[in-house]
Structure 1
């Protein structure tokens, strides 16, 4: 049948009809809220390039996560750490006394209902800001695996529910899986940053995590933004090595990759709606150029529609508060 028998506008006539036939709905269970934890007490440092986000000391983080859960129902967070001091290879992150393991312990005691995803990488913890051990001017893949495995075990011991390696070293999922299994954490899932691109969208994050590289860039280990076939190879490798979930990062410029990964592998796909994507929305909204809440809803819907099962986003709290208040 075609027009005039078929009139597609019939199903757009009223809000009730539109709601009834809506294909893609984003809810609290789809969202993970990222946080940055730093040393000190009573600390809440605003991140200028990411309005509404902060570096929290552990005590303030506990209050913030408790408020997130109680006011929005969002029960999943992703943790990044800013250490008291850094070293050449990131071993400062491999101890139970490191900033993120201590934060996990405090959160598990105060808000046990919240699931904690622990990012695993060395860029926040190295003096040079790269994601691993430097040899001859570049990150040495195999030496870095040892640090990543040790860091993962420390996070699991502290109580992390999911380990999320974001470094893009070859073989790191297998190294982490083996280390977790050998230490009795065979049931701890791995959320692999499988297709992580060398993107310009990470700028505000590097301010937040104090992790900008001191020389060069990350193009020798993060993916070329021009490639999508390569993304499928990266995802396949991580699945073969034991990844339980795979991630595409960033999200908005890589919706095609999200869709290809979901269609090809049919396993849980995570998309990271990254800091630059967040900050562009905030900047445009502050200038009155866009309807902020409509834009946020449209962005998150598009990411889920592309195939993401889970969305990591700095919009998580405000999105859910807006949803609650608009009902």
Structure 2
């Protein structure tokens, strides 16, 4: 049975507001190719905006710029961070941009509103020796040999590739077959990129793959369980290790390494990957491709970290800087 055709644009003005949002989110997921986490973020932001509009007796079809600004004032009064307020305004802009393009509204009431801006932020990172401590600790953390080998593989891959944790835990096992020198990673918006593997990462991957395949074969024979298509299989609904489980595991490894868990997150390891490459002389555009950044300006934040590192070296070692 084919889906019912969409009503003409004029009819959308009579829709309940939640349908505007649902249609927008469906479009972002299907046509714009937005990542699942991006769509979920839009959904959370717009649900709060809809709640405000409903309590204020407003409708998406007719509310004004003043109404959007009143919502942002309320967000400020609630003590929300600048970054959160900026993101919510961006979500509202996108919704009304979609409504304008679809002909549901004649304007975008959020278009010319100036956002709160975001605070200057520099990515936290780790030293090379601290990453070494984490990798070593991963190889001795776990209830048994299989856990320890898996944990070492997870950490080696994360640091060697700069993957997002969502990309890491959902890797298909097919990508790891044949002792690959490079991994094919599917990132945000289903965009694919190739990332080289270091020799230690390849060795850790090979060791884990052998144990994983043996366990999968045993489960197939004893339990008639179909083999998983993921490199890090799990009984979770998605079929692979949930991000929350990895986060708990990373905390355990961090404590075993003698480091402060507040300083170590999956994203910090991604930052360490990029920062260490830059410090080693890598090209910024190459790092952009490896990280899967759509815009080079996103990658350029790492240059500030390296600038600080170089400045410190000069102040510490240059003869004219002594005593300054």
Taking structure 1 as the reference length, the TM-score comes to 0.26
Q: Point out the structure with the larger strand share.
A: 1
Asked which structure has the greater CA Rg, the reply is 2
Q: Point out the structure with the larger helix share.
A: 2
